[in-house]
Structure 1
Amino acid sequence: MLEREPHINLHRWPVHLDMTDDSVLIMEGDVESIAAKKRALELAGAISDVRGVIDRLHVAPTEHKGDGEILGTLETSLLDARDFKNCSLRVIKKGQTLTLQEALDDDASGDILASVDAGVVTLDGWVISLSHKRLAGVLAWWVPGCRDVVDALEVLPPEQDTDDEVTDALSLVLEMDPLIPHPEQISIHTRDYVVTLEGLVSSETEKSRAEQDAWCLFAVDKVVNQLAVSR
């Protein structure tokens, strides 16, 4: 199962599996990418005898950072993001809740509480749209040293998720990503939470980054990268 998935390298990054008495599969270990984590969970969840999956997989960071440094970088990213200018932003530091920004008017776009524990970023609170939820999650994944993101943000009022919503959110993310200089050259197609990328980029690095951005999105199950690199 996992051996045949191209995103997963079990020789370098072994995944430990354990089954509970009630047929719930526990997956534990470090993996090399968000894609590897999501594909492992997706494949495990598709096994007929498995009643549920407990996710204890973490992405091995390319840079090792302390929780305080990770939280500090995330603070800056959230405060700088245009879409969160009208959100209350709070963080938990050393057990204390600190307010970075407070939106007091009736048109507030959300109230986000961020914390970091052992490299795992948790986002609590609420936002006004699924795009806001997805954007906050991506900003967390972008932080150097981040090992996982628990995006527990509630969308208020509740909003039905669609493929178009995923496409719109990824378009916004690509526009914000400084490593994607020409996002307008990338076409995004989403069907059943599978994202296909087409178009032209200037380097293999940009091609990989665009795919990584898509994998970072909440609820995206698979990414098909058909981007071409200009020569």
Structure 2
Amino acid sequence: MDTVDSLLTTVREALAREPRLDLGRYPIRLWWEWNDLGMAGDLPDVASKKLALERAAAVPGVAHIIDQLHVIPDRRLPDGAVLEHVCRDLLAEPALQPFTLRSRGGDEVRTWRDAGGEARGAIEVRVEDGVVTLDGDVTGLGHKRLAGVLAWWVPGVRDVVNGLGVSPREQDNDGEMADGVRLVLEKDPLVSTESVSISSRSGVVTLTGAVGSDAAREAAERDAWCVWGVDRVENQLVVSAR
């Protein structure tokens, strides 16, 4: 067996050891392209996608990954409908008002909000085959993370490529990550963060405390997985009757 075949076998074995991946039902195709590992497949949720990437990236010899893993949406929508929904949600978010908002569909560019001379940056949205791409610049990692999660929440979205830059450059750290997750959870009407604690360490977010229902517990974990930079979520929330 040559080096490439051996490496692909090791990656497959690593994926098979992840209990949250059902490779029988949701297979992942692997290939080696130059010095990059390719991964493609349709997975049931964001958690499965990120866990697959994390497991593969931890294999010695894997330096770069060509990510073609997508999430199966609850329902498929035309790209135009997804684009419209994403832009309307970004437009309605008060924290993103300082940024000019544009969408690009083919050769057509539409300005949804022109922040004028007071603009602190710009967000451009594209959608292709259910994959949302965010480009431009914002002024904080919290804005970048919030925009990405708002896109993930839109029906029909298969993936979010968050290419937003942060200007001026901001150093990411565990505190920033925890703050970003809290901001997102506070935006979800299903989740009350009053009794929820959030900690982060090297891309692993831990949720502790209490929520009012199983649905809230699941929503909090799902939201955390959608945050840019989160590689793993440890959900230690308990359901407390009120």
Asked if Structure 1 and Structure 2 have the same fold, meaning a TM-score greater than 0.5 normalized by the shorter chain, the answer is yes
- Structure 2's unaligned 5+ residue stretches are 1-13
Corresponding residue number in structure 1 for 2:95:
83
Deviates more, 1:153-162 or 1:199-208: 199-208
Question: For each residue in 1:173-230, what CA deviation from the matched residue of structure 2 results, as whole angstroms up to 9, or x when unmatched?
Answer: 11111221x1222110111121000111122221111011111111111110000012
Aligned counterpart, 1:13: 26
Q: 1:40 aligns with which of 52, 60, 76?
A: 52
Question: 1:30: Cα distance to partner?
Answer: 0.5
Q: TM-score, normalised by structure 1?
A: 0.95
Using structure 2 for the length normalisation, give the TM-score: 0.91
The one-letter amino acid paired with 1:119 is: G
1:217 corresponds, among 213, 221, 227, to 227
In 1: Cα distance, 2:209 partner to 2:94 partner: 27
> Aligned partner of 1:77: which letter?
D
1:74 shift after superposition? 0.8
Q: CA RMSD in A?
A: 1.2
Structure 1 stretches of 5 or more lacking a match? Answer: none
Correspondence 1:155-174 to 2 at 5 A: 155-174=166-185
2:150 aligned with 1:139, yes or no? Answer: yes
Q: Write the letter of the residue equivalent to 1:49.
A: G
Corresponding letter in the other structure for 1:212: R
| Residue of structure 2 aligned with 1:122, choices 122, 128, 133 | 133
Are residues 1:187 and 2:197 paired?
A: yes
- CA shift digits 1:91-116 (9 cap, x unpaired): 1134211101011234x232000010
Query: Which residue number corresponds to residue 79 of structure 2?
Result: 67
Distance 2:61 2:87 in 1: 42
Alpha-carbon contact 1:111-1:126 (below 8 Å) kept: yes
How many angstroms does 1:50 deviate by?
A: 2.2
Kindly provide the amino acid, as one letter, of the partner of residue 13 in structure 1: Y
Letter matched to residue 98 of structure 2 = N
